[in-house]
Chain A
Amino acid sequence: MAISGWFVAVLAVGAVPVVLLGGWPGFALWAALLTLGGIVDALLAGSPGGLRVTREVPARSRLGEPVEARLVIVNSGRRTVRGAVRDAWQPSAGARPARQRLLVPPGERRALQTTLTPTRRGELRAAGVTVRSTGPLHLVARQRTLRVPGALRVLPPFASRRHLPSRIARLRELDGRTSLLVRGQGTEFDSLREYVRGDDVRSIDWRATARRRDPAGGGAKLVVRTWRPERDRRIVIVIDSGRSAAARIADEVRLDTAFEASLLLAALATRAGDRVDLAVYDRRVRGRVQGATGAQLLARMVDVLAPIEPELIEPDWYGVPALVRSITPHRALVVLLTTIDAPGAAQPLLAMLPELTRRHTVVVASVTDPEVIAATATRTASDEVYRAASAERAVQDATRVAAAIRRLGGEVVTGAPQELPPALADHYLALKAAGRL
């Protein structure tokens, strides 16, 4: 039950009979009239229980894109239902409008549109549909909340997509599709073919040319070798979703930066013909993508990553080698997206690292805080000098951990939140060019 503003207004108008009829008689009369009106109104209002509501929500959307959600309301009762409807979503779904008018004659159906503008990724749920059915006198309303489950999976935005075209162009340069005839590291023999004008003379394979010399005489046919980069390498991305991933740097949570970086790397690597596997791990595996390739890989990755949030626990690094072993038995490029800050906190990571570097190429990627870097150079007042000292200390700690990782055979990529994804992609390209995959 709910009362309307009209009910309050009519009650207030009761002051007239109270004064004119001299007190309690007028009061009693008005109270009786209003009570009667309220009861009649409530009885004549269409029952919200007679409504059948179904929800039509797209299963997925990308963060930052508005989504239309539809409610289809069928009135299976005997009276017209008029009033208001609230489609209740959890607050971060950004459902607008909050309330909508509704008028459904018996036996008919109406559709209502709700625009969702999610403010964070993850699984967003609808709580229920509340219908307030007003009576014909507009005095009182019957209200009921109907359970209509619904969910929308909001995927990570993958804003680093914009770096992809330039990196793919670099990949093509590496690949045999552009004239890459010079042998370098990280290339494998592709084929021998006849020299055409324009080919680099250094790529002429004299021995093959000698063999191909036509014994019957005739012109000398020069043969060149072509090379192509390695293919079908394996890349294992391990994202640390532990305590430190919850930190917010330059308005982006570390975990989200890690997602961006891994998405860009995966998009690039799958173009290059490498196989990418992903695991999100703290003390147990929070999400895993294995065996997907091409366009399917990215779709599965965003789907798996969407609902994952940082956990306030210390990651268990000793489980990582076993995790990598379970993903692939072969040599692979293992990318650890984590945080390197304090030497103390990095101890388990450093202790585990040799086990990985013995078999694999290991890259540790970490986000640096631009605020800390800026603090090292701001030194006008005494408190700022202390702050700068503290910031320098933080930078030195991170440098020390990075040096330790390099000593143990790993590689380190760091960058501000916006810069880390392209930096990691560039590092991958460099490794590929060097044939170290």
Chain B
Amino acid sequence: MSAPVAGTAPATPASGERPRGRRVGLVLLWVAIGLVVVFGVLVVWAAGRGSQVGEHLRSPDDPSPGGAMALAQVLEQQGVDVQLVHSFWEMQSALGDGRDATLLVDDDWWVLTDEAYQEMLPLAEHLVIVQPTDAALARLAPGVEYAGFAGGTFAADCALPAAQRAGRIAGNGDAYTAPASATRCYADGQGGSALVRVDRGTLTITVLGLGDLLGNDTIASQGDAALALGLLGEQPRLVWYQPDVDDYAFEDSNSLAAHQGPWFLPLVVLLLLVGVAAAVWRGRRMGPVVVEDLPVVVRSSETMEGRARLYERGGARDHALATLRTATLARLARTLGLARTASDDEIVAATAAATGRDPATIDFLLRSAEARDDRALVGLSDGLLRLEQELRRAVQPD
């Protein structure tokens, strides 16, 4: 319904039919809005596609302090073929038969499952895992266990050639305990080591706890660069594997999706469609809404109420009392049958005579008494009403 607008004739005929031209205009408007939305979505999608930079920690594409671009470039200059992969399948094809290649696994988002590590084991001969999860340790380097945080400067204290070449290194990360058969480097003084190499038959698995020494900001300090180059540049090829979250290759076999039938997604879509259809069914109007101009309506006593609130808020007791007295005097004069021109003195005298009350008290009530607070005002007002009643009773013929 339209806003209450005064008017005798409705401004527009009460009909909901739109002119044809306006309807076409409306359709065009919606098409334009749809195009803008689609275009915007495409732009956002395209912009998000190219920029993988900054997503992973220690990404070889990333020139920022947290990235590892410096290391990757130096490796390339040394003649090492560095390949960055983000999914298991890419990693498999990049490795080929696994000869002459180092596989660097940096699962910084903890995406990979037990299964993935199990599958990974036979793929490469040289494996470097950076800050591995417990699952990775259990599958790839049994016996090696997480031993807490490690950080600071470490001295080379093992027979690993790369470590000996590097000398002292600086970095932060994890430390591990390992059985005596493994090569343990960079002891943290509490029984843990920041670098562990395990040999499993033909496989060499290196667990690097000090992940941040690969980063652009720390690679230049101490012997970090030498250690990294020594670990990763041993073979002519390096496959740098940083799994993305959508690396579904090895979903957790215990997840909800594993229990779903193939009909689950179609059923959800169908139910969504049912909901939309129900909304359309109930929401489709039968013809346009009919609008109507309603006449304006004002409550009449609004002025009176407004003035009363003004009196009250302003504490206008004198004013209110004067008004009440004037009204009472007029009514007394009428009851007594006095002329309209009768003076207040005459009214007071006549009232006193009719009711038998003391003229002084009546005069006090009608003229000189003051209302100091609201309580006094109510008292005086009651007095005025009582006086009027008394006079009415007095002049009433029996």
Binding site for B on A (CB under 8 A): 2-5, 7-8, 11-12, 14-15, 18-19, 22-24, 26-27, 30, 84, 86, 88-92, 99, 120, 122-123, 125-130, 132, 143, 145, 147, 149, 246-249, 253-254, 286, 307-312, 341, 369, 371-372, 375-377, 379-383, 385-396, 399
Q: Which B residues lie within 8 Å of A371 (CB)?
A: 300-301, 304
How far is B309's CA from A12's CA once the two chains are assembled, in angstroms? 61
Q: Is the CB of B296 within 8 A of A388?
A: no
A120 to B267, CA, bound (A): 53
Within B2-49, the residues touching A (CB, 8 Å) are 6-10, 13-17
Which residues on the B side are within 8 Å of A248 (C-beta)? 297-300
CB distance from B166 to the nearest CB of A (A): 56
Known: A11-B274, A128-B287, A308-B8. A372 touches B266 (CB 8 A): no
Contact B286 A18 (CB under 8 A): no
> B304 to A375, Cβ gap below 8 A?
yes
In the complex, 11 of the A-B residue pairs with CB atoms within 8 angstroms, ordered by the A residue number, are A8-B277, A26-B266, A99-B286, A122-B295, A127-B290, A246-B6, A310-B295, A382-B312, A385-B381, A386-B320, A389-B323
Q: For residue A8, which residues in chain B have a CB less than 8 angstroms away from its CB?
A: 274, 277-278, 281
Give, as a whole number of angstroms, the nearest-CB distance from B370 to chain A: 15
**CB-CB < 8 A to B299: which residues of A?**
247-248
Closest Cβ of chain B: how far from A17's Cβ, in Å?
Answer: 10
Task: Please give, as numbers and ranges, the residues of chain A lying within 8 Å of B259 by CB-CB distance.
Answer: none
- Whether the pair B288, A310 counts as a contact (CB closer than 8 A) is no
| In the A-B complex, the 7 residue pairs with the closest CB atoms | A130-B287, A389-B320, A382-B374, A390-B308, A247-B300, A392-B327, A309-B295
Nearest CB in chain A to that of B264: its residue: A23
Tell me the smallest distance from the CB of A242 to a CB of chain B, in Å: 11
Per the bound structure, the CA–CA distance linking A389 and B327 in Å amounts to 9
Closest residue of chain A to B273 (Cβ to Cβ) is A11
A247-B298, A286-B8 known; A23 vs B262 contact (CB < 8 Å): yes
Check B277 against A381 for contact (C-beta < 8 Å): no
Q: Point out the residues of chain B lying under 8 angstroms from A86, CB to CB.
A: 286-287
Q: Which residues of B contact A385 (CB under 8 A)?
A: 320, 324, 374, 377-378, 381
Contact between chains at B304 and A120 (CB < 8 Å): no
**Do B320 and A127 touch (CB < 8 A)?**
no
Question: In the complex, how many residue pairs between chain A and chain B have their CB atoms under 8 Å apart?
Answer: 207
From B299, which residue of chain A is reached at the shortest CB distance?
Answer: A248
Smallest Cβ-Cβ distance to B288: which chain A residue: A145
Q: Does B245 have its Cβ within 8 Å of any Cβ on chain A?
A: no
Contact residues in A for B308 (Cβ distance below 8 Å): 383, 386-387, 389-391
Closest to A417 in B: B300
Extra contacts, 4 of them, besides A372-B304, A382-B375 (Cβ < 8 A), are A3-B284, A128-B17, A307-B8, A379-B378
Interface residues of B in 300-320 (CB under 8 A from A): 300-301, 303-305, 307-309, 311-312, 316, 319-320
B46-93 contacts to A, CB under 8 A, are none
- Does A15 lie within 8 Å of B270, measured CB to CB? yes
Chain B residues, Cβ within 8 Å of A286: 8
Give per-residue flags for B242-284: 1 if the beta carbon is below 8 A from chain A beta carbons, else 0.
Answer: 0000000000000000000111111101110110011011001
Distance in Å from the Cβ of A58 to the closest Cβ of chain B? Answer: 18
Q: Tell whether B157 is near chain A: CB-to-CB under 8 Å.
A: no
Q: Give the chain A neighbours of B296 by CB distance below 8 A.
A: 246, 309-310, 312
A396/B323 in contact, CB under 8 A: yes
B residues in contact with A247, CB < 8 Å: 298-300
* Docked-complex contact B263 and A389, CB < 8 angstroms: no
B273 to chain A, nearest CB (A): 6
A145 touching B298, Cβ below 8 Å: no
Given the known inter-chain contacts A23-B266, A127-B290, please indicate yes or no for A12 contacting B274, CB distance below 8 A: yes
Which A residues are in CB contact (< 8 Å) with B119?
A: none
Q: Which residues of A contact B287 (CB under 8 A)?
A: 86, 88, 127-130, 143, 145
Q: Is residue B226 contacting chain A, with contact meaning CB distance below 8 A?
A: no
In angstroms, how far is the closest chain A Cβ from the Cβ of B18? 10
A369 to B1 alpha-carbon distance, docked (Å):
30
CB-CB contacts below 8 Å: B374-397 with A: 374-375, 377-378, 381-382, 385
- Residue B292 lies at the interface, judged by CB distance under 8 Å to chain A: yes
Q: Is B169 positioned at the interface, with any CB of A under 8 Å from its CB?
A: no
- Report the separation of the CA atoms of residues A91 and B291 in the bound assembly, to the nearest whole angstrom: 8
Given contacts A27-B270, A309-B6, A392-B326, contact A127 B288 (CB under 8 A): yes
